[in-house]
């Protein structure tokens, strides 16, 4: 298993391109592997026959562990068979397991030296009252990373979410004129707002709030393998057209799973957009170790009151989740006010 990034500890075998017994040439793509963030096709390091596959598709394995053996067709290879894992269980536990048709490999032993005792099987039986399962999906790759990260964020950062309505009439005009998306406009608007509210562009590290110099905006992209967040570095310094071009490429690469490590790291603030699904307001979870995340709702025509008249306007709702350890409600609200002002006076995005 190759190391695809400095922090990678394990990877998932996604797909074997060759079968056991198939001839391979040096440089042939043999197997596709997936780290936390990127997929990678492993080339054959030498010509020969793929004699042995150690790691099945969908299985995780540590970095530097062997995936398989390529050798000459007649070369003697010694493959140490993993010793069959013997289940240590007391006779009483085994008897109970037999009675209830329980697979003891599924039961955790708590007796001396990890022996499964009767009580363990009884506990297992009680847990079995759960509904029947249709399938079990192993938590691997992107899903596993996401699970760990949102759990850390939800556990460590006290979340607070505030929302605000924005009149998107001018932004809509700008979108037509520049042929950009609302997301492009939002990336630029957020970058500008962050330069005015640097506290939102920060991270909490033990007893220090560290404010980032650069404004690097992550954009959450839903892919069939899970959520992935490519980053637009220095978004505050880039014209919106450049942001639009970059974002288009990044989203495309995200869908194909070919984002590089550089394209996935360094974010200081994240935007997540559920507007295309008809969502107005939600409570996003901060992308750790950042301080805040902006949730974007749909743009929809709504009745508004202006000078005593009911007028239909394209309205969007923003949902800002922030780490309450770093900022209180008022500065977070002021950040949203700035966002609203920038978006409603959309031409300011151009400079």
Partner 1 sequence: MRKVSYRDALREALQEEMAKDSSVFIIGEDVGRYWQGAFKVTKGLAKKFGDERVRDTPISESAIIGVAVGAAITGMRPVAEIMFGDLSTLAMDQIANQAAKLRYMFGGQIKVPLVIRMPFGAGVNVAAHHSQSLEAWFTHVPGLKVAVPSTPYDAKGLLKAAIRDDNPVMFFEHKLLYPIEGPLPEEEYTVPLGLADIKKQGKDVTIVATLYMVHKALAAAEELSKQGVDVEVIDPRTLVPLDKKTITESVKKTGRIVIVTEDCKTGGVSAEMAAMVAEEALDYLDAPIKRVAEPDTPIPFSPSLEQFVLPDEERIIKAVEEII
Please list the active-site residues: 324, 328
- Which residue, 111 or 233, is less far from partner 1 as judged by CB? 111
**Given 1, 14, 44, 93, the residue binding partner 1 (CB under 8 A):** 93
Q: Based on the shown chain and the rule CB under 8 A, indicate whether residue 146 belongs to the binding site for partner 1.
A: no
Question: Looking at 94, 175, 261, 302, which residue binds partner 1 (CB under 8 A)?
Answer: 94
Q: With contact defined as beta carbons under 8 Å apart, do 264 and 231 qualify?
A: yes
Binding mask 51-70 for partner 1 (x = CB under 8 A): --------------------
- Establish if 90 lies at the interface with partner 1 (CB under 8 A): yes
87 binds partner 1 (CB under 8 A): no
CB of 85 to partner 1, least distance (A): 20
Site string for partner 1, 97-126 (x = CB under 8 A): --------------xx--x-xxx-------
CB of 68 to partner 1, least distance (A): 41
Of residues 96 and 296, the one with the C-beta less far from partner 1: 96
Shortest CB 96 distance to partner 1, Å = 9
In angstroms, give the least distance from the CB of 87 to partner 1.
15
120 or 323: CB nearest partner 1? 120
Query: Is 216 near partner 1 (CB under 8 A)?
Result: no
Taking CB under 8 A as the binding criterion, the range among 6-14, 86-94, 139-147, 161-169 that sits at the site for partner 1 is 86-94
- Beta carbon of residue 124, minimum distance to partner 1 (angstroms, whole number): 15
Report if residue 278 touches partner 1, rule: CB under 8 A.
Answer: no
CB 189 within 8 A of CB 217: no
Do 317 and 164 touch, CB atoms closer than 8 A?
yes
Enumerate binding residues for partner 1 (CB under 8 A): 90-95, 111-112, 115, 117-119
């Amino acid at each position: 298993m190759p190391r695809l990034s400095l922090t990678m500890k394990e990877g998932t075998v996604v797909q074997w391109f060759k079968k056991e017994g198939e001839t391979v040439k040096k440089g042939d793509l043999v197997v596709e592997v997936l780290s936390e963030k990127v997929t990678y096709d492993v080339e054959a390091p030498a010509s020969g026959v793929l004699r042995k596959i150690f790691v099945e598709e969908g299985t995780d394995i540590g970095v530097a562990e062997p995936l398989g053996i390529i050798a000459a067709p007649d070369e003697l290879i010694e493959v140490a068979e993993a010793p069959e894992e013997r289940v240590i269980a007391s006779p009483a536990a085994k008897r109970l397991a037999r009675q209830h048709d329980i697979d003891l490999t599924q039961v955790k032993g708590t007796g001396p030296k990890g022996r499964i005792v009767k009580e363990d099987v009884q506990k297992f039986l009680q847990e079995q009252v759960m509904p029947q399962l249709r399938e079990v999906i192993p938590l691997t790759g992107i899903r596993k990373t996401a699970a760990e990260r949102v759990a850390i964020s939800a556990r460590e950062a006290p979340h607070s979410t505030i929302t605000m309505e924005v009149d998107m009439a001018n932004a809509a005009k700008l979108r037509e004129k520049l042929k950009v998306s609302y997301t492009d406009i939002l990336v630029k608007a957020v970058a500008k707002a962050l330069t005015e509210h640097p506290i939102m562009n920060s991270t909490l590290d033990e007893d220090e709030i560290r404010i980032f110099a650069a404004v690097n905006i992550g954009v959450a992209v839903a892919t069939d393998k899970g959520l992935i967040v490519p980053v637009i570095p220095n978004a505050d310094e880039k014209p919106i057209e450049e942001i639009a071009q970059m974002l288009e490429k990044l989203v495309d690469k995200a869908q194909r799973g070919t984002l590089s490590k550089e394209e996935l790291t360094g974010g200081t603030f994240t935007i997540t957009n559920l507007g295309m699904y008809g969502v107005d307001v939600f409570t996003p979870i901060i992308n750790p170790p950042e301080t805040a995340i902006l949730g974007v709702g749909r743009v929809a025509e709504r009745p508004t009151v202006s000078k005593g008249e009911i007028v239909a306007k394209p309205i969007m709702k923003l949902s800002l989740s922030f780490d309450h350890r770093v900022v209180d409600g008022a500065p977070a609200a002021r950040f949203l006010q700035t966002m609203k002002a920038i978006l409603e006076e959309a031409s300011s995005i151009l400079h």
